[in-house]
Structures are given as structure tokens and as C-alpha cells.
Amino acid sequence: MPPSRLPRHAAAETSRSRAVLPPAVLLTSAALAFGGLAVLPADGAATTVKVTAAAATSSTLVQDPRVAAPSQKDFDALYGIPQAQPAKVAAARVAPRASRAKRTPPKVVAPLWVRPGVGHFTSGYKWRWGRMHTGIDLAGPYGSPIRAVGAGTVIEAGMESGYGYIVKVELLDGTVTYYAHNSRLLVSAGEQVTAGQVIAREGNTGHSTGPHLHFEVRIGGTPINPIPWLAKRGIFI
């Protein structure tokens, strides 16, 4: 119905509603029509910001170009996002662990078999002076260390006839080793010994013509040649 035909009170309401259009709507419409929007900052200087129809209808914030946009670091600080650690700092935090690892002593593996004496070979397993020499002789300086060739149990330690001061060690497989002509004994019967443990000091006791170690190997009470027996265990005289 045309406005002239509307009731008088209805026409008044329509005119009143048209008169109160929000200024923001009018400003936006004008900006779209003329291609720009004049923004007056607080200091009164006008800055023209380009506003397109798409920008006016989107939720994008139009920022004053004179004000720097917030950086990623500012957003991270605002929302409590932790900052990435620099490479040097990360390396410094890992360094103490590496240093502790370096200070850890390497694991030492005990040998299974060792040479019984430090002296040089002077006599072998053979007939000598009308009788069987049932071992080998290693001549070295007086007091040199005599070592157990392998792990076992001391079954005898003392003086015995022509052997002088002797130590007998029964190895784990039942083989018995003799160490004779010592000047000093460092173990006792019943004691457990390990490969390489010093059990006596080289001497010249018993039937001996000079300081040396008489070394024997006996299996089932029968002496055998120590040279090949030691060689099978990586010990070469």
C-alpha cells in the first residue's frame, strides 16, 4: 500500500525507522561506493585505507599501517607457547651427560690364560742327566713374579724335596700345574686364585743351578709337555 494510503500513525513509524540508520552502515556504504575509507586517528591526521567489498564483509582486522603488526614471538608470549631452544643452549644441556659417560671406566675383561713366568726358556720337557725332566725351565731375575696360568685352587704350597718351595694349583678342569724353586710363597693351600695372580717369587731353592721357574702340567697325575698345552691356550714360550 503506498505511503499516502497508509494510516497516519503507520507512516510516521516508517519515517522514524528510516531516519535512525546507523552511521557505521552509511560510512561503510560510502567507502564501498568511492573505493576507500578515511580513518581519523587520535592525532587528527587522516589516513586512507583501501577497503574492498570482500574485506568489508570478512572478519579481517583493518590495521593502521603506521602501527607495527605483532610478531610471532608476541603471540607465543601471549599464549604461553615455549620458545625453541638455540642449538648452543641445547648442546650445553646435553654436554654434562656426555661428560659423565666419558668418565665411566671401560669394562676390563680378565684373561683366561697367562704366561707363568717372565724368564726366557732354558730347558724343555725331555730326558736330561739320565732322568726325565717333566717340565720346562724359565730363567729370570731373582724375585720375579710367578703367576697362575689359569683360575683354580691351590692344593699345596710349601717345601718339597728337589722342587724347593713349590705351589701346586688345580685348574677348573682338574689339570694340575706346578711352580717350583721359588724364593717366597704368596698363597696357601685351599686358596682360590685367578689367571695372572702372583702366587710366588722366583728363586733358587731345591735342586737348582740358578734362579728360574720350573713349570709342570699334569693331567690325571701324569706330566705332559707344557709347550703345546700352553700354545693351545694362546701362550707361546
pLDDT value of residue 210: 95
What is the residue whose three cell numbers read 725351565?
137
pLDDT value of residue 129: 78
Q: What whole-number distance in Å separates Cα of residue 177 and Cα of residue 148? A: 8
pLDDT value of residue 83: 66
Number of Cβ within 10 Å of residue 168's Cβ equals 21
Helix (H) or strand (E) holding 75: helix 72-79
Could you list the pLDDT tens digit for every one of the 237 residues in the chain?
A: 454 454 554 444 444 444 444 544 444 554 444 444 444 444 444 444 444 444 444 444 445 556 566 677 776 776 666 666 555 555 555 555 555 556 777 777 878 999 999 999 999 999 987 889 999 999 999 999 999 999 999 999 999 999 999 999 999 999 999 999 999 999 999 999 999 999 999 999 999 999 999 999 999 999 999 999 999 999 999
Q: What whole-number distance in Å separates Cα of residue 49 and Cα of residue 27? A: 13
Number of Cβ within 10 Å of residue 217's Cβ equals 23
SS3 143: coil
pLDDT value of residue 61: 45
pLDDT value of residue 92: 54
Tell me the three cell numbers of residue 152: 683354580
The strand pair at 145-147 and 192-193 is best described as unpaired
DSSP summary character for residue 154: E
Going from the N-terminus, what domains does the chain have, and what CATH number goes with each? 3-68 (no CATH), 120-231 (2.70.70.10)
User: pTM for this structure?
Assistant: 0.57
Report how far apart, in Å, the C-alpha atoms of 20 and of each of 4, 23, 24, 25, 166 are: 21, 9, 11, 11, 125
